Structure 1
Amino acid sequence: MRHLFVALLGLALAGCISPNQGRPLNFGEFPSAEYQALAVHGNGRIDGRAFLKTRAGTLKPAAGKDVALIPATRYMAPLYKAYQERRPLGEPDARAKIYTRTVRADAEGRFSFAQVPAGRYYLSCEVTWETTGTNGPTTVGATVMAPLTLREGEEVQVELTR
């Protein structure tokens, strides 16, 4: 009887938890051909600013943080899904990282990518800052991410925030 109660309690508690919560998404097999077909150079440009807004309305720039420009391939689709659902994500194949470009944001969180080929991308950046709490300094913030489509020769302005 005790085992039945424990099993029923487990089932009841399982119903309170989202079936996806905490379960990492995986990338799957790396599609070499898809990545080899990606253009390396182009004539597009992406300028932007990465920041978060505090509850008090203060803007916190991604000062000195790396901003990533990631090709939005089928392989990388779980990356954006994990961001949207706030789920953990397994590690991507190291070969995918070769195709990711990074730049460092300035003190105001501004960044720029030049000579970008036309295509679909994800822009991603971690925005953090220190705050003083009752237990001393604490780092707070979040990752910001957005999809972006760039046409040949296009120049776009982006606000990368939540």
Structure 2
Amino acid sequence: MPVYPAYNEASESEYAPYLVDGTSEISGQAFLVQKNGGTVKAAGRMVTLDPVTTISSNWWKQAGRMWKYRMSLPPSEGFTSARRSVTADADGRFKFSKLPAGSYYLRTELTWDVAYHGIQGGILAAEHEVKPGETKMVMLNSL
């Protein structure tokens, strides 16, 4: 189980620049290609975007990319307030608008059940940076 340190005012204050609207955008598509060549899209899945800070970096290393701890979040008001989430469309496409420039952790879950083999897939996650006014297109397609 992840162990999160006590957070102080200085680490919580790192979220302040991310609590306002900006001029950047991250959009893309979340999917996985199966061993047989089929494609599974993240249709209807929640996609989250978390600013990279001391608190979120600790969470990312311990739990953010691990299926086992997919529900674990740090006990941080800043983390919760700054997190953005959208639901992917039928093609697994998503879009985050009005972002402040900076670095972000992008994440979603993509799983499916295979008869006699169980659950396949897992957490799709990546770190991305956007500059002021930048529109970035990304493919979220690796475990």
Q: TM-score, normalised by structure 1?
A: 0.74
- Residue 120 in 1 paired to residue 97 in 2? no
- Tell me how far apart the structure 2 counterparts of residues 98 and 39 of structure 1 sit (CA, whole Å): 7
Percentage of matched positions with identical amino acids:
32
- Tell me how far apart the structure 1 counterparts of residues 137 and 41 of structure 2 sit (CA, whole Å): 16
Q: Secondary structure at 2:15's aligned position in 1? A: helix
Q: 1:97 is matched with which residue? A: 80
Q: 2:16 is matched with which residue? A: 36
5+ residue gaps, structure 2: none
Higher RCO (CA 8 Å, separation ≥ 6 residues): 2
Q: Deviations over 1:89-145 (max 9, x none)?
A: 5531151122100000011100011111101100000012233337xxx54320111
Q: 1:65 is matched with which residue? A: 45
Q: How does 1:9-158 map to 2 (within 5 A)?
A: 24-30=1-7, 31-82=11-62, 86=66, 89=69, 90-95=72-77, 96-133=79-116, 138-158=118-138
Q: Secondary structure at 1:106's aligned position in 2? A: coil
Q: Which runs of 4+ in 1 moved over 6 A?
A: none
- Tell me how far apart the structure 1 counterparts of residues 38 and 6 of structure 2 sit (CA, whole Å): 42
Please tell me the residue identity of whatever aligns with 2:55: Y
RMSD: 2.3
- Tell me how far apart the structure 1 counterparts of residues 65 and 95 of structure 2 sit (CA, whole Å): 28
Q: TM-score, normalised by structure 2?
A: 0.82
